[in-house]
Structure 1
Amino acid sequence: MRLDHPDIRRSGEIVEIVYDGQRLTALAGETVAAALASHGIIQFRHTRDGGRRGLYCGMGACFDCLVTVDGKASQRACLTKVAANQEIRSVMPAGTAADPLLPLTPPVTGTAPVEQATDLLVIGAGPAGLAAAIAAAQRGAAVTVLDERPQSGGQFYKPLAPSHQAQHPIDRQFRDGLALRDAAIRAGVAIQQEATVWGAHAADEVVAIVEGLETVYRPRQLVIAPGAYERPVPFAGWTLPGVMTTGAAQTLARAYRVSPGQHVVIAGNGPLNLQLACELVAAGVDVVAVLESAPKPAPHQWRAMLTALRTAPDLIADGLRYLNRLRRAGVPVLWSHAILAAEGDGRVAQVRYAPMAPDGRLQTEAAVSVAADALCLGYGFVPSTEIARALGCAHHLVDRHLGYLATDTAADGSTDLPGIFVIGDGADLGGARVALARGTLAGHAAAARLGLPAGNATEIADAKARLQRAEHFQSALWSLYQAPPVRFDQVPDAAMLCRCEEISVGRVRAEIAAGHDSLAALKRNTRLGMGRCQGRYCAASAALLLEQSTGRPRAVEQYLAPRLPAKPVPAGALAFEKPEWGGHQRAITPNLARPVETIRLPDQEAAILVIGGGVVGACLAYYLSQAGQDVLVVERDDTNLQASGANAGSLHVQLLSFDFGAKAEAGGGPAAATLPLGPRSVALWQQLQADCGEDFEVRITGGLMVADSDAGMDFLRAKAALERRYGIENEVIGGNELRRIAPALSDKLIGAEYAPQEGKINPLRATYAVLEKARAQGARFLRGANVTAIGRENGHWIVETSRGRIRAGRIVNASGPWSRETGKLVGIDIPVHSAPLQMIVTEPAPPLVGHLVAHADRHLSLKQVASGGLVIGGAWTAAFAAERRFNTVTRHSIEGNLWVANHVLPQMAGLHVVRAWAAMNINIDGAPIIGPVPGLPGFFNCVTSNGYTLAPVVARITADLLLQGRSDIDPTPYLIDRFG
């Protein structure tokens, strides 16, 4: 329902929209979410399991309120403005000719996005960002501010939407927000609203989508002020429509004058909930109860009370007024209470809550149920550190609430990276007054680094004093509002942990019990954190659940790695044609060993020691243990976390375009000699899937290498003829046949090579399943064991690791990109190079592509996986950040790869890119290196550059050579001897 206020009038034109066939009225200038909520409609996107989701975060971070608007898929209802005659659907287009995915942005022109230079770029127009912009602009800096929301002000100020007008600000918060925005405009700050910053590749390379177009900003100084998002609180039913954050409810009520419901329960931790309750009560909404998880402030906390009163008497007065208003209105404020469950059929209808003991235990025996059609949750915040982490700024863990990562900064927001400042709640939580003070200091510091005239010393000193007062107030406030610790032992298995991928708490508990006890392993085994929100609403919860389940403390390096884009962005907006690269960009192998285990173990023995716990090591362990051998696999990190775990999952049989002709390594001979291995290995994958009794998502759909020119078709005919000589099934087909079997592909394509034996596999499931089967057969695995030395003693190999000494009869080097380093330990040079490559994945889409698709002239690998996402690769190079020893994606490769993908599959322009990631690929000469090493009895190699496809067959050959001294596949073309 709409909320009335005597000093606010509706100014937006009344327009008509259609939602799922229902014609509704709306106010121009409001969001789709506000318009629908005014009619009591709270169900938005459909989940894979048939459920529905509604408005949750209200700020574009959770992606639960997605709708299709005029044929454009996955529009956030909380940010998308209504327009006359808009047709809105809760479902995505079917992706057919009759109901296609329409392009989300205008087609790009040229080969590169527009670039803009500025003295200072500020990301975020909340209190911190605007304060920094004002301070720098007043000293003469050219300042640009980018903000994703329709209006400036951030989560705190929430200005009134254009759909409404007020003759004067109705409270201090509105007034201060307007004054800050107006001060920025007067200072000459250029503010760009509805701009999504998707990445920052360096301090002077920030990339955003502005008015549907990609724009690269080249600032001399960068201030990151992205704010925070509200802390997730998993409990049964928290994903039901009608359950939303306090911030989302306040945005509806304050900015759009729409109530989140008619009977509202508000729960959480902190005074923001009291403010929302008062605002709703004043508008005539039935606030059923306010539940505060902290105990009621007691006399023994008098020191904190005095500090709070001394440092912010006005805020303390506000809090007392809120409590008094609620008391007069008969709204119960229940201290030491929290939510047990939200219940309802498709939307929340009832809320169960209970008192909390000091240790955080919910006293379920005293639970109460109340009717409610909205539940608002405000349990605190988590900083939006995605951009700062992607840039490499140092971070630390804050053990508060669920725990979160905060950016290491000085008082003025400067970080350990030159030219980069991080301020406000996006750096660490401190509230609006801390954000304003730090913003002012950051603006002055940035201006000083720009060489501008000295700033006002009085203003700087005042900002420092305000910062000190605000920090003292925050410390006192959260001492008074100290909530009991979060306990996952009372969260039921059925509660959802990962909202995007629908991963339950019970599923995560089961994976931890199975030994997948790191965030990275959980991510690969369950897809936790892989959805549109990029782990914002599950990573912190999962980290705490892991700590409570394993007793192992959380650490910064164990959190999920930052991925770009920081938020989903339209694929078409990033698609720029780029020159094809001229070969693998080799790099030193990064040292990515992380201390998942550190306890040193007693000396061990093994008949066969496998070095490397990726997919090849897993297959070796499987085949060797199946034969009754005593096998131990050591992995420097955790199993399946590096090259194998970051694989795109293609099962290649035909040669890739760069493995034939002039582009091929070593003239193409080694790659051609490897062709017979492909079909054998795919068959072995199918057999492993059956033996393990799990679905690896092996789908032999056939592969298409497409061409869009006569020269490309000639290339395919020559390549196909060579492949047939090695036993590969294939057929060169024309354009009509191509469109018949793959109608979504571009009509610009004139033909393709079709290889029916190709397909795809889920590497996030297959490797772990083979590892578990090998373990069940008796194979042993030791993680966190970095091999540091290898020697010989009395006819045995002696291997020193970071966790102890191992005596082995034979060794298999299955270290993948690290194989050369392992070889050095025994005095040999194994010609294996590291080549960082990157991949891209889109949001889930309707069925578009059944085949594994490649291109004859360009680098492309394209397939649609079981989750519905399109995985895009094709050996576009990533970058190696030497100072961090870390692989990172590059804008050039993302743009070029997406251009090829859009060129081949036009409906790609109707999808959002969810993430891109870099992995360390293996570059040899086109063929694997397997078998014994002359002069090193008992030392074997098992390394391949087409690792996922060929892992079973190279492991099978190596196992046969170890056990029998021979194999039914001639290993001669793959021995290290060929290098002379």
Structure 2
Amino acid sequence: MRFSHPDLAPGTRIPFRFDGRDMEGLDGETIAAALSAAGVTAFRRHRDGDPRGLWCGMGTCFDCVVTVDGRTGQRACLTKLAAGMEIEGPGGPGRTGPGDAAPRRADLAETPPERVPDLAVDVAVVGAGPAGLTVAAALAEAGLDVLVVYARPDPGGQFWKPVADSHRPARALDAQFAAGLAATERFDRSGARRWQEATVWSAFAADELAVLHDGRHRILRPRRLVLATGAYERPVPIPGWTLPGVMTTGAAQTLARAYRVFPGRRAVVAGNGPLNFQVAADLLRSGVEIGAVVESAPAPGVANLAAAWRAARAAPGLIAQGLGYLAALKRAGVPILWGSRVIAAEGGEALTACRIATPSGERRVDADVLTLGHGFVPSSELARQLGCRQRFVDSHVGALAVETDATGRTSLETVWSIGDGAAIGGSVVAQARAVLAADAILMSLDRPGLGAPAVAAAQSRLARAEAFQSALWTLFRAPPFDPAGIADDTVICRCEGVRAGAIRQAIAGGGADIGTVKRLTRTGMGRCQGRNCAATAARLVAAAGGAAPEPRALFAPRPPVVPVPLAALAFEKPEWGGHRRAVPPPAHPRPDRNRPRWAMRETDVLVVGAGVVGAAVARELALAGLGVVVVDRDAPGQQASTANAGSLHVQLLSFDFGAKAEADGGPAAATLRLGNPSVALWREIEAASGRNLDIKITGGLMVGETARDMEFLAAKARLEGEHGVETHVVGANELRSLEPALWDGLAGAALCPAEGKIDPLAGTFAVIALAEAAGAVFEADAAVLAIAREGTGWRVETAAGPVRCGRIVNCAGAWSSHVAAMAGRPIPVHGAPLQMLVTEPGPPLVSRLVAHANRHLSLKQTRLGSLLIGGGWSAGLDPATGASSSLGWAIEGNAWVATRVLPAARRFHLLRAWAGMNINIDGAPILGAMPGAPGFYNCVTSNGYTLAPIVARLTADTLLGREPALPIAPFTLDRFG
């Protein structure tokens, strides 16, 4: 329905089509507003078949993504309507997603990415709400070159959002609109620049912001960075909260205030805090029937008088305004249910009713719209990417806030975080802190500050505003959040459709930390990057006895912070041979988790490293009847084992043969006899585990573009044939018949029928489970600190306590040299931090593993339709912590190669880039006993995922005195002299 207003006249009507139906909207409104006005609440279908619609209304949840004129992944809540638009909701009949029509050459010629030079500015401000507009105007007025970047079509943020162009008024409609208009006009006069409808998709460094603006990829290099990113509404999952018609209070407010529309006629407004009363009163005034206002805080009483008095003294106008909302609702007979909460949303294709728990019993209220508002969560993703110190705010579900000083300066010298993006405080607090930040930034650049009067006024205003906020939330204090009350069938992760029961099952199966839960269930792996599920999942982990929520208890931040078109990032980069070596620091214990837990442990064999290789070794030895303990400084499978792209390589990679190969390629060639037996063992592991590891042996293609590439592939195939690996060189025509979606400019490929892929998340945890079932014991948070001989065995000091054992197997991957050195001899193993990319799901394009003869590439498509892209592009390494991180140039180069080989990939959005620690040796494993250290064995390989089962089997054979299935002589330390 559309709202009328005496001072507003609707704009020009324009035609568009949605799912084949002719519709009309208004020029200047968003797609979501136009659909809502037409009564459409279901915009698309999730892959599980459930209908989905508008949820957050501000671009953070991605539940409203639609396909617009063939462009996928467009957020309906942010995308402006245009005449003649053809809009489709992904997931419906006949709609599959990006990549339809599988372009092979046209996309390369028609849509080349445009990269412009980096832009240096004095100050970059991310966000254009009260904090961002205020700080930008003050800095620009002082003469600085200031650029403000924000995602919305108009400045103002969530609080000052103006009336849309579809209803642009001649004057401000109320005091809130007037304040936003005044701030915008001051900003426009100040001389600051702005990029609207721009996406800051990553902060690789304080002076390296990656931005998509006007279809172009830009790198901003500010001398000072201000994060004024605002907040999004705190998600509180209930049964049915994914139904169309259920949305956040902020989404409802945006539709009503900015676009003058609403998707229903009867609403229930629920949650916690005064915003819900404002929205209910606004909707009532516009003609929406309010079935109930449901407030989780108890009804105000005598106990609240002191807080009410403090609030009234600090902000009498706001208190009067709030009392006005209450009076209007009561006059209209709207039930106000204090101390109550919505416990379920009911409906099939859309919402029909709400179930409400009240102090007097359960009630059911019919409604076609339910708004849920439980307060706000700082949008601190960019601050987390940069490494700004965070703190966990233990309120309700909980959230992360950015640690700052009084001016908003973070733990990074050139980065400020202000407004609700740092910590929730409201618009007045945001504006006051913006003034203090502007003063501090000016002085940090050796400029005169704003002056003592301006600073004193801001400090006074800040003190009053903070006093008001403290009193207000004493009045609206809600009961604590209880994760035990979440039913197992409640969806927690909206993007991936993961339910509470699956998370609890993962926790019970060994997922005692949030990272393992993510890997086991895919929670947090969708478009919203965990914004809607991370805190709740962390609470479920804590409730089961895991780590209490704190900054590291939430999902690690990954670029991009929002999905971006892969094509926009694709730029050719110089490449290199092999992996770039790095030396990770020793596995120092984390003081928050690595604590003593035992006085002494005794076992036959201690395995150091709980990745897939260590788990496979533990299983082999436990099945042979030995007592096995596996220790790791972190949780099992946290490094390369679950950070890799899941390729099952049998043929040599391009940098393992020819001029690029280490040690002339001899060691790598020796590994060729290991690939096929290891893949066969993976099959056995899948059968033994009873799990679907998504093993697909459909063959691998290494493509070539030039005659020189084809000569390289032919020589490589001959060598592989000599070592028992079947490889055929195919020409361009046969390649097109095998994989029609690949670029038709390719000259041919080497086809290896035995190659394929595996789900590394499922595979790693299946091996761990099999090892535990055989009797192996895994000890997380047990970093190895020292190793010493003790009699005929070993004594190993770990952060969790000492272990006495007869034999040690070193499976510590990139850290293996550190472990071996403790036993007397470092080994020639280096780290090689690598990155991987994953896209949104799409239709089937490629069935085989795809690599390149002269480029770094591995590309495959998952069963869900996502493209997994890797191939050895380097990642960064923190020398202090050993943490790997993605690099902007590597993402660009990786995307370029992938879209060159598979042009249809240009239509996909990049969902996530991540980094893991790979291993660099000389192309071959290091296996067997270590000379001079009786009972100490190494089991380390740089093709660890494919070869894990076979190197584990060979290691077990050697340790147990059995004849190895294959000779291990080429893989011992003897080859290094």
Q: Which runs of 5+ in 2 are unaligned?
A: none
* Preserved CA contact (<8 Å) 2:686 2:693: yes
| AA in 2 matched with 1:502 | G
1:704 aligns with 2:695: no
8 Å CA contact retained: 2:807, 2:935: yes
Is contact 1:107–1:573 with CA below 8 Å preserved after alignment?
Answer: no
Per-residue deviation, 1:510: 1.2
Counterpart residue type for residue 244 of structure 2: P
- Residues 599-632 of structure 1: CA deviation (Å, up to 9, x unaligned): 4213111111111100001111111112222111
The CA distance in 1 between the partners of 2:110 and 2:450, in whole Å, is 43
Deviates more, 1:156-165 or 1:624-633: 624-633
The answer to whether residue 166 in structure 2 is matched with residue 166 in structure 1 is no
Distance across 2 between alignment mates of 1:285 and 1:704: 60
Aligned to 1:502: 497
Corresponding residue for residue 332 of structure 2:
329
Task: Tell whether the 8 Å contact from 1:104 to 1:911 is kept in structure 2 after alignment.
Answer: no
Secondary structure in 2 aligned to 1:724? helix
Q: In 2, Cα distance between the equivalents of 1:98 and 1:397?
A: 47
State the distance in 2 between where 1:658 and 1:182 align. 58
Q: What per-residue deviation string (whole Å, max 9, x for no partner) do you get for residues 544-581 of structure 1?
A: 12212216422222221110111111100100001103
CA distance 1:805–1:551, change in 2 (3 Å): closer
Aligned to 1:467: 462
1:834-849 maps to which residues of 2 (within 5 A)? Answer: 834-849=831-846
Q: 2:298 aligns with which of 291, 295, 300?
A: 295
- Paired with 1:760 and 1:317, the residues of 2 have a C-alpha distance of 64
Secondary structure class of the residue paired with 1:9: coil
Residue number in structure 1 paired with 2:483: 488
Structure 1 distance, partners of 2:10, 2:249, is 24
Aligned residue for 2:47? 48
The residue number in structure 1 matching 2:3 is 3
Change (3 A) 1:551 1:732: closer
Q: CA deviation at 1:965?
A: 4.2
Taking the aligned partners of 1:496 and 1:724, their CA distance within structure 2 comes to 51
| Secondary structure in 2 matching 1:915 | strand
User: Against the structure 1 CA distance between its residues 103 and 376, is the aligned structure 2 distance closer, same or farther, given a 3 Å change threshold?
Assistant: farther
Which residue in the other structure is 2:533 paired with? Answer: 538
Pairing 1:881–2:888 present: no
Shift of the 104–221 alpha-carbon distance from structure 1 to 2, 3 Å rule, reads farther
Distance 1:884 1:937, change over 3 A: closer
Per-residue deviation, 1:299? 1.5
Question: After superposition, where does 1:68-467 map in structure 2 within 5 Å?
Answer: 68-91=67-90, 93=96, 98=101, 107-108=111-112, 112-355=115-358, 366-467=361-462
Question: Residue 909 of structure 2 is aligned with which of 909, 912, 919?
Answer: 912
1:170-225 CA distance string (max 9 Å, x none): 11111101111110000111121100000111111111000111011111110011
Report deviation, 1:583: 4.2
The 2-side partners of 1:442 and 1:4 are apart by: 41
Change (3 A) 1:2 1:103: farther
Mapped to 2, the partners of 1:763 and 1:493 lie a distance apart of: 26
Query: 8 Å contact 1:269–1:483 — kept in the other structure?
Result: yes
Q: Which residue of 1 aligns with 2:566?
A: 571
Within 1, Cα distance between the matches of 2:232 and 2:67?
24
Instruction: Describe the shift of the 1:589–1:551 C-alpha distance in structure 2 as closer, same or farther (beyond 3 A).
Output: closer
Q: What is the DSSP-based 3-state SS (H/G/I as helix, E as strand, rest coil) of the residue aligned with 1:401?
A: coil
CA distance in 2 between partners of 1:103 and 1:964 (Å): 59
Tell me if structure 2 keeps the 8 A contact 1:268–1:291. Answer: yes
Q: Structure 1 468/561 Cα, relative in aligned 2: closer, same or farther at 3 Å?
A: same
State the partner residue of 1:960.
Answer: 957
Matching residue of 1:360: none
CA contact (8 A) 2:728 2:752 kept: yes
Q: Deviations over 1:41-76 (max 9, x none)?
A: 111122121111100000110000011100111111
Matching residue's letter, 1:693: G
RMSD: 1.6
Task: Decide whether aligned partners of structure 1 residues 321 and 341 sit closer, same or farther in structure 2, where only a CA change above 3 A counts.
Answer: same
1:796 equivalent among 764, 789, 793: 793
1:966 CA drift (Å)? 2.7
Q: Distance in 2 between matches of 1:246 and 1:150?
A: 20
- Alpha-carbon contact 2:102-2:741 (below 8 Å) kept: no
Q: Which amino acid aligns with 1:543?
A: A
SS of residue in 2 equivalent to 1:945: coil
CA shift, 1:104, in A, is 13
1:687 to 657, 679, 684: 684
Q: 1:582 to 1:450 in 2, by over 3 A?
A: farther
Secondary structure in 1 matching 2:745? coil
Distance 1:134 1:31, change over 3 A: same
Per-residue deviation at 1:98? 4.2
Question: For residues 37 and 873 of structure 1, what CA distance do their matches in structure 2 show?
Answer: 41
Shift of 1:773: 1.5
Q: Alpha-carbon deviation of 1:515?
A: 2.2
Offset of residue 444 of structure 1: 2.0
Corresponding position of 1:19: 18
Determine the structure 2 residue equivalent to 1:359: none
Q: State whether residues 268 and 291 of structure 2, in contact with CA within 8 Å, keep that contact through their aligned partners in structure 1.
A: yes
Tell me the alpha carbon deviations over residues 699-751 of structure 1, each in whole angstroms, 9 at most, x when there is no partner. Answer: 11110101111111111111111111101111111111111111111111111
SS at match of 1:26: strand
Name 2:865's counterpart in structure 1: 868
Q: 2:719 aligns with which of 717, 722, 742?
A: 722
SS in 1 for 2:762: helix
CA-CA distance at 1:533 after TM superposition: 0.3
Q: What TM-score comes out, normalization by structure 2 length?
A: 0.97
**Native 8 Å contact 2:134 2:183 kept in 1:** yes
Check conservation: 1:854, 1:861, Cα contact below 8 A. yes
Unaligned regions of 5+ residues in structure 1, if any? 357-362
What is the CA distance between 1:596 and its match in structure 2?
4.3
Encode CA deviations 1:863-903: one digit per residue, 9 max, x unaligned.
Answer: 11123211111101111133554221111100011000010
How far residue 260 of structure 1 moved from its aligned partner, in angstroms, is 3.4
Number of aligned pairs? Answer: 970
Contact 1:198–1:569 at 8 Å: present in 2 too?
yes
SS of the residue corresponding to residue 35 of structure 2 reads helix
Q: Percent identity?
A: 53
Q: CA deviation at 1:598?
A: 2.8
2:527 equivalent to 1:524: no
Checking the alignment, whether the CA contact within 8 Å between 2:4 and 2:260 is kept in structure 1 is: yes
> What letter is aligned with 1:874?
G
Aligned letter for 1:907? A
Contact 1:106 1:212 in 2 (8 A): no
* 1:623 lines up with 2:620 in the alignment: yes
The answer to which of 507-516 and 385-394 deviates more is: 507-516
Does structure 1 retain, via aligned residues, the 8 Å contact 2:594–2:633?
Answer: no
2:575 aligned with 1:580: yes
Q: Which moved more, 1:963-972 or 1:429-438?
A: 963-972
1:975 and 2:963 are equivalent in the alignment:
no
1:644 aligns with 2:641: yes
Equivalent residues of 2:108, 2:900 under 8 A apart: no
Q: Does residue 822 of structure 2 align to residue 825 of structure 1?
A: yes
How many angstroms does 1:115 deviate by? 1.4
Q: Give secondary structure in 2 for the equivalent of 1:295.
A: coil
Q: 2:718 and 2:116 mapped to 1: Cα distance? A: 41
User: Residues of 1 paired with 2:432 and 2:643: CA distance?
Assistant: 42
CA apart distance, 1:853: 0.5
Aligned counterparts of 1:504 and 1:445: Cα–Cα separation in 2: 46
The DSSP-based 3-state class of the residue aligned with 1:545 is helix
- 8 Å contact kept, 1:38–1:258: yes
Closer/same/farther in 2, CA of residues 787 and 839 from structure 1, 3 Å limit: same
The Cα shift of 1:517 comes to: 1.5
Deviation at 1:93, TM superposition (A): 4.8
